[in-house]
Amino acid sequence: MTTAARARTALVVLCALLVAGCARIPVDGPVQRGDVSVTELGPIYLRAYGPPVDASPQAVVEGFLAAQAAGLNDDWSVAREYLGGEAARSWDPSARTVVYSGEAEIDQTAGPTTGGDTTDDATDGPTDGTDGTVDTDDAILQGSVSVVSTLDSTGRYTEAPPGSQQDLVFTLERDAQDQWRIVLVEDGLYVALNIFVSSYRPTSLYFPTSDGELLVPEVRWYPTSNTPSYAVNGLLTGPSEWLRDSVVTAVPDGTRLVVDAVTVVDGVARVDLTQDVLAADPQERAMLQAQLEAVLLRLRGVRAVEIFASSVPLTVAEEVDPERDPDPSTSVWVLADGVVSTLQGREVEPVPGILPLTGDVTALAVHPDGSGGVYRSGSTAVRTLPTEAQESVALLTGTRLLAPSVDRFGWVWTGEGAEGEGLVAVGPDGSVVEVAADWLSGRTVESVRVALDGARVAVVSSQAGVSQVDVAGIVRDDAAAPQRLSDATPIGATVQDPDQVVWVDESTLGVLATVGSSGLRTFHSVPLAGRSEALSGVDDAVAIAAGRGLRSVYVATAEGDLLGRSSTGTTWSTVATGVQLPTFPG
């Protein structure tokens, strides 16, 4: 085998062989009862080999890329064998992770003129490299990869736009043993997509809302090996900047793991924190316990959590019960011949107490507790729903008002769908607040939806004909009135021409977009930290709604058909006719 071929096969997957201990399966004799213990397969570990002797520059680069994925299990000790000089000591694999599809294309652009083994007499001598002959004591290899996504040093995931490419540049020199080694390389990892999906997992870190009623997730991607340690360290460090002013944390300043690891023995995760945690009051200790349990109990193999302060069990005297990923309080609401109704199975039933609507009703929004809601009249007014006890009241008038969204504090969100107009919120007492958001300057908002936790908002906006989806944190005052939005976090980079957004669950959006030149309207599942996925398209789709999970997704057509996910989850089926404006609380 050539050295280049050996480098290309440096990465192997070690799989456990399950041996049943019998030569054949019995096919005769009586049927007998017995207890069967099924052992879950353990994680798949990647193994890398160091550079072969006299490997070419290209084989060294290919071997280095292959060894990077296995470094999660060996602290990149084998990958560093491909490095020389200061690079062997200074290369930081944790700086970022580039996830790519296909194969890395590596081309030798300077250095030895052959792709195989080279010796000092391969040329007539060093030159300036401009006439086809080059100095054989160094080599520069360049290449590129098709980028799927990137992770930063803390595991924050960013989906890459279609067609994204990342250039690769490696400088190699011969070492004292006359072996090619990489001496100049960018920090970070390059991981093939198939390796990434088996070696990393999305992990939700949870932070309480300011009133302690709900837990708000922030999804990070961590290696499958030692995920509990990564997750607890992430939780102790706190939320990202975009979410920091919209949630709180129960972790006292300076609190860290005593040893940089969370051990899991017999399903019990032991979290041993520094004595800084003792500064937490009883309420904060209870909330910290709730945070840790919300994070760790969702990881494979963890069924209980024990918290210590310098090896002494942490006393938690109070109890808190914040809600995570709340369910909508009602089934989907629709408008049927002017009557606000709900879908019960496949039957459309009027909502008790709400009077029929008249005029040009163009959007509905429901309070998260299901107690009532608002509607948009044409594009010029947002009004309360009329009830037997109270007639409809105009909350806001305008020219091109957005379809409204109601947060859990009763604030109604909308705004003028015109360039630079931004967002406004109307309080339960009728007060109007212009919600500051510098990043919306010069943009036209097309759709807004507040998460059920009241701490985050999803926005579709456009500029110069290009639309995008963003998520931001909501900063409120002591009375829960919204004041401003945090800096935006763009998501769904692969979704083209989005115009409507809803929340599917605590960390996933649903986006209606027009796909390509076909003009087909398609529902996209867009994780806040993951790869977007287009569901099958629907002709003449005009509106979307989602309760909790993809099974609760609905699409309405211009003809008045309401479509839901089929039992297989791959196609749409008609669940009601003669209805429009589907919506869930929020």
pLDDT in tens, 50-62: 999 999 999 999 9
Same-domain pairing of 172 and 284: no
Residues 426-441, mean pLDDT to the nearest whole number: 96
Q: Is residue 83 part of a domain?
A: yes
Residues 449-463, mean pLDDT to the nearest whole number: 97
- CA 548/CA 554 separation, integer angstroms: 11
Residue 318 backbone phi and psi in degrees, to 5: -105, 170
| Residue-number span of the structural domain to which 178 is assigned | 3-17+40-121+132-187
* Nearest CA-CA partner of 469 in 437, 442, 502, 438: 502
Position 387, amino acid: T
Q: Is residue 192 part of a domain?
A: no
Helix crossing, 282-296 with 227-237: angle to 10°?
Answer: 140
Q: Is residue 306 part of a domain?
A: yes
Please give the pLDDT value at position 108. Answer: 63
* pLDDT > 80? residue 134: no
* pLDDT > 80? residue 31: no
Same-domain pairing of 347 and 259: no
Q: How confident is the model at residue 282 (pLDDT cuts 50, 70, 90)?
A: very high
Same-domain pairing of 469 and 356: yes
Q: How confident is the model at residue 8 (pLDDT cuts 50, 70, 90)?
A: very low
Last residue of a domain, one of 271, 301, 324: 324
Please give the pLDDT value at position 230. Answer: 97
* Nearest CA-CA partner of 51 in 40, 38, 64: 64
Please give the pLDDT value at position 27. Answer: 35
- Sequence-distant (6+) residues with CB within 8 A of 431 are 481
- CA 240/CA 459 separation, integer angstroms: 19
Q: Is residue 577 part of a domain?
A: yes
Q: Is residue 194 part of a domain?
A: no
CATH code at position 348: 2.120.10.30
Range of weakest confidence among 39-43, 195-199, 272-276, 303-307: 39-43
- Sequence-distant (6+) residues with CB within 8 A of 288 are 250, 251, 277, 280, 307
Q: How confident is the model at residue 532 (pLDDT cuts 50, 70, 90)?
A: very high
135 compared with 126, residue with greater pLDDT: 135
Please give the pLDDT value at position 328. Answer: 87
Number of independent structural domains in the chain: 3
CA dist 490 → 89, 177, 247, 326, 434 (Å): 35, 49, 19, 24, 22
CATH code at position 85: 3.10.450
Same-domain pairing of 319 and 341: no
Q: How confident is the model at residue 371 (pLDDT cuts 50, 70, 90)?
A: confident
pLDDT tens track for 78-91: 999 999 999 999 99
DSSP code per residue over 32-85? ------PPPP-PPEEE---PPTT--HHHHHHHHHHHHHHHHHHTTHHHHTTB-T
Same-domain pairing of 307 and 348: no
* pLDDT > 80? residue 232: yes
Same-domain pairing of 172 and 53: yes
Q: How confident is the model at residue 22 (pLDDT cuts 50, 70, 90)?
A: very low
pTM of the prediction?
0.86
Q: What percent of the chain lies above the pLDDT cut of 90?
A: 78
Average model confidence (pLDDT) across the chain? 87
Same-domain pairing of 309 and 351: no
